[in-house]
Amino acid sequence: MERRTIGAAALAVGAVGLGCMPMSWAYSTSRQRGEESLRTVHRALDAGATLLDTADMYGPFTNELLLGRVLKERRRDAFVSTKVGLLVGDQHIVANGRPGYVRRACDASLRRLQTDVIDLYQLHRADPEVPVEETWGAMADLVRAGKVRALGLCAVGARASRRAGARLHDTTVRQLERVQQVFPVSAVEAELSVWSPEALETLLPWCEQRGIGFLAAMPLGNGFLTGTLTPGVGFEADDLRARHPRFTAEMMAANQPIVAGLRRVARRHGEHVTPAQVALAWVLSRGRQVIPVPGAKRERWVVENAAAVDLRLTEHDLAEIADLPAALGSWD
């Protein structure tokens, strides 16, 4: 697989990564199968999708434990990205950016992942009760201690920014400018897809100007852009899409023209090319520092996703995608 680099340290990874969250958290519990997930991670590594993206809150903790079983055998094949800063309760999620907690959380993640170093340690969310510089300083100390190789920051959620009347990523850019004064940012992770292109406005240019890697989360629109979801079928109660306004039956039906457009482009490239591959190729075309991290828990999907690296969209393809209607429905 083509390789891309993250940050000034030029950490090399496969151009498409693997989002591991669906294996343990936020998507239908009944479809989460540990042994199948293990095979999926191995298949991703075999295909060159070396960036494995997880977090201590996924599960919580069980996603890191699952990856640890793979890393115990194949640590040299993988680039491990995990996150800190969010705690999961029974009915709520809270931020914790206290330096002492960050240090303890890192040690716990290292144990679960069965490794002595985390390649990319990301701040999942800033704690409103702790200056972000203090949290970032504690994370920088972990780099100096040899427990972490590079630091990243996840973008602030859409709802918080939009309620403030700001552009979607203004809050994240302000945080980045503050922490950059403490220790270099190597990567930013934020949603970027055909139906959620907002990062192109300010966040991605900010990263480009500074040589910072960009991990494109949810590049397949939580599965919608694959064209495999049926409007009106519904989701299990614990699936995050059951509460997402874009995944109501009405909105899924209304947004079908986006999938239809991706299908048209796919057909021009061959009968075996899929809408998902076109969607990933679009993300890959946004810049050499952009690495899509599609979530998957089945081997067939990681193989399909990895093959998107070889799909080259034409100017005509890109223009047609740009002309697709904007997605309807939002978090607001």
Q: Which positions are annotated as active-site residues?
A: 58
Question: To 5 degrees, how large is the angle CA 272–CA 274–CA 275?
Answer: 160
- Inter-axis angle of helices 34-46 and 299-307, to 10 degrees? 20
Q: Residue 61, by phi and psi: left (phi above 0), alpha (psi -120 to 50) or beta?
A: left
Whole-number Å distance between alpha carbons of 152 and 83: 9
Would you say 19 and 298 are in contact if contact means Cβ atoms under 8 Å apart? Answer: no
CA distance 311 to 313: 6
Per-residue CA distances from 270 to 210, 264, 267, 318 (Å) = 38, 10, 5, 17
> Between the CA of residue 117 and those of 110, 132, 144, 147, 213, what are the distances in Å?
7, 23, 12, 5, 20
| Beta strands across the sheet bearing 290-293 | 18-19, 51-53, 79-84, 118-123, 148-154, 187-191, 213-217, 290-293
Sign of CA dihedral 94, 96, 101, 104: positive
- Which helix (H) or strand (E) is 204 found in, with range? helix 203-210
Neighbours of 279 (CB within 10 A): 30
3-state secondary structure of 6: strand
Q: Are the beta carbons of 222 and 247 closer than 8 angstroms?
A: yes
Owner of token pair 């995944």: 247
250 alpha carbon, distance to own chain's centre: 26
